[in-house]
Every structure is written in C-alpha cells, then in structure tokens.
Amino acid sequence: MRLTTYPPVHEGQNLGDLLKFEADNLYSRDQVTVAADQVLKLGHVVGRLTATGEIAALDPLATDGREVAIGVAIMPITTTTDPSPDGLIVARHATVADHALVWPIRATPEQRAAAVVQLHGIGVLVRRGV
C-alpha cells in the first residue's frame, strides 16, 4: 500500500495568537489614523506622534511621541505617502501574548520592559503566552 505524504503547512500569526482577552462591545479597541510610510504587522507595539496624533511603530529612541507605547496593532496595515484612517489597535482593558508582539529591531530588553510597563499603565497586560 502506498501512502501519500504532504509537506507541513505553516500558518502565520493570527489575532487569536496575539489577543488573549478584550472587553465586550469593542471597548478595548480604537480605530486610529496610521502615519505615512508605516508597515505595521499584527502585534506591532505602537506610539502616537505628538504633532499629528497619528500612530506609528514604537521607537524608543524617538522624541516625537513614538517613544511611548500606547497600544498594539491588531490588524496589519501598510501606508504609503499618505496617512490611513484604517488602523486598529487594542488600547485598554486587554491581555496580549508576549511572543506575538512585534518590537523595533534594535530595541534592548530594558526598552522592551519599559514599553511593557507603559502598556500595563493603560490597561494592556502582556502575559507569557503559548
């Protein structure tokens, strides 16, 4: 008898991998405007540009508001030369899995820990997930 073998299927991260708890009636979520020239993936930790109020990827070395974690992207979005009002983040009363967060490439463990504390301060808990 001949058995057919198939290559394994690898599924990428999905919302269930990242978001472990959120409040009812979309209370935890905010629709936001994403700044121009951004590539935000599911789980990207984000900050808010002080001058415009737009969301951008966290940058611990910035001085324009992006250095403070204000939420986590729960939908991937890419912007070009114009901002997009179609961003979606979890910004309060939620729990996210640590392994599913997307950090800046050069973020140190201390900078990540500081961002986790900032998220905790707004009610977004980062827990060890599987």
Q: What is the pLDDT tens value at each position of the chain, 130 positions in all?
A: 678 888 888 888 899 999 999 999 999 999 999 999 999 999 999 999 999 999 999 999 999 999 999 999 999 999 999 999 999 999 999 999 999 999 999 999 999 999 999 999 999 999 997 6
Look at the chain and count its residues. Answer: 130
The SS3 call for residue 1 is coil
CB atoms under 10 Å from CB of 92, counted, come to: 17
For the chain, domain boundaries: 15-127
Q: CB of 83 within 8 A of CB of 35?
A: yes
Residue found by looking up tokens 């808990």 in the block: 125
* pTM: predicted TM-score of the whole model, two decimal places: 0.90
Q: What angle do CA 57, 94, 119 make, to 5 degrees?
A: 45
Give, in words, the CATH class of 15-127. Answer: mainly beta
Element (H, E) at 55: strand 55-57
**CB contact set of 34 (below 8 Å; sequence gap of 6+):** 40, 54, 55, 56, 77, 79, 83, 84, 86, 87
